[in-house]
Amino acid sequence: MDKLLVGFYNMDLGQIIMILIGGLLIYLAIKKEYEPMLLLPIGFGTILVNLPLAAVLDYEGAPGVLKILFDAGIQTELFPVLIFVAVGAMIDFTPLFVNPTMLFFGAAAQFGIFATIVVALLFGADDLKVASAIGIIGAADGPTAIFVATKFAQKYLGPITVAAYSYMSLVPIVQPPVVKLLTTKEERMIRMEYTDVKVPKMVKILFPILITIIAGIIAPISVPLVGFLMFGNLIRECGVLERLSQSAQNELANLATILLGITIGSTMRAQDFLQPMTLVILLGGLAAFIFDTAGGVLFAKFLNLFLKKKVNPMVGAAGISAFPMSARVIQRMAQKEDPSNFILMQAVSANVAGQLGSIIAGGLILALVPLLVG
């Protein structure tokens, strides 16, 4: 009889709370459409690993399916890297070639990552590595956050991933108040000229190759991040691998996302998630997005001190990597102030630059933190 009731005997309050959290993530994914491709598998994975005995992780000494997936796909960094190939195949860098100055906004908006590392330490992060994994939520780039967290804070991988994807979907709520606080109405109404330029195909082909080489020389440890993103982009731009490009953008992206999501969910066990550090991670993630936005806007305002043709400082906020949501939010804000103002293309350029900036910042953290920790 005891064997029949083994599930009931092995259930505790923590597991029940986690199952509810899993349900909440599924609700947010389906009802609110907050990053459903990730939050739904994570939510379901959370339920699976918090059921009695967690047979998906380990049963009677044999590794369960989620444990096998975790060891093969997360420990080895395979899944995030596959996602990078897919993301690279989806990115069109043309807006950046038209307006390369926007690269600097993509750099400025990474300020939040580094500022949050300091804040996380002040608020009780275990050490510099854990604080860095919290700060990287500000990359607004899920795979980068997962990649860095896997290296530096594997036990917090679940909450870090959930925070990264949740705040990315909350960009329309997080960014506008910060932008409004830091800009005047006149600044938000600044118009920017946009001239369309035909970008030679050779430039689009050489770009991913040269970026990989430069990044690989500056921060060799960033090559899995930058290299596979650019590999995906090269497949897209070379013009002779249309089938592979489509596969990377669709089948590969979908398969890797399913496996990544449910495997991340397997890290959301009650004993790992229900602890004070989760709160620090969630608040740290929010702080990172706020600092990112502020960094981009303040950098644009600083540039305006010297520029003849002023930049709309809101474009700086689009320098975070949350593409294309951040660019859309900024355009919406600009049109709210002046319905005929169109800064979407500049915002998209900054947003694309943010995708480069975030992986470079991630690469620098991967390179620098081990040197600092010793």
Partner 1 sequence: MFDFLAGASDVTKSLFLMVVGVLGTHATLLLFFIMIKVLLKVFTRNADGSTNAEQ
> Rounded CA gap, 55 and 360, in Å?
39
4 phi and psi angles, rounded to 5 deg: -70, -30
When the beta carbons of 341 and 349 are compared against partner 1, the nearer one is: 349
Q: What is the CA radius of gyration of the chain?
A: 21
CA distances from 360 to 224, 247, 302 (A): 11, 26, 23
CB of 56 to partner 1, least distance (A): 36
In angstroms, rounded to a whole number, what is the distance separating the alpha carbons of residues 249 and 199?
A: 22
Q: How far is the CB of 279 from partner 1 (least distance, A)?
A: 19
Residue ranges binding partner 1 (CB under 8 A): 96-97, 100-101, 103-104, 106-108, 110-111, 113-115, 117-118, 121-122, 127-128, 131-132, 197, 199-200, 202-203, 206-207, 210-211, 214-215, 218, 353, 356-357, 360-361, 364-365, 368-369, 371-374
> How far apart are CB 86 and partner 1 at their closest, in Å?
22
Instruction: Say how far apart CA 231 and CA 211 lie, in whole Å.
Output: 10
CA distance 116 to 110: 10
Phi/psi at 58 (5° precision): -165, 130
Nearest residue (CB) to partner 1, 72 versus 373: 373
How far apart, in Å, do the first and last CA atoms of the chain sit?
55
The label of the residue with tokens 């900036």 reads 357
Minimum distance, C-beta of residue 135 to partner 1, in the bound complex (Å): 9
Measured from the CB atom, the residue of 91 and 103 that comes closer to partner 1 is 103
Nearer to partner 1, 40 or 369 (CB): 369
Identity of the residue, 189 or 303, whose beta carbon is nearer to partner 1 in the bound complex: 303
Smaller CB separation from partner 1, 47 or 360: 360
Taking the complex as a whole, the smallest distance from the CB of residue 121 to partner 1 amounts, in Å, to 5
* Minimum gap (Å) between residue 119 Cβ and partner 1: 9
b/e burial code for range 312-327 (CB count within 10 A of at least 16 → b): bbbbbbbbbbbbebbb
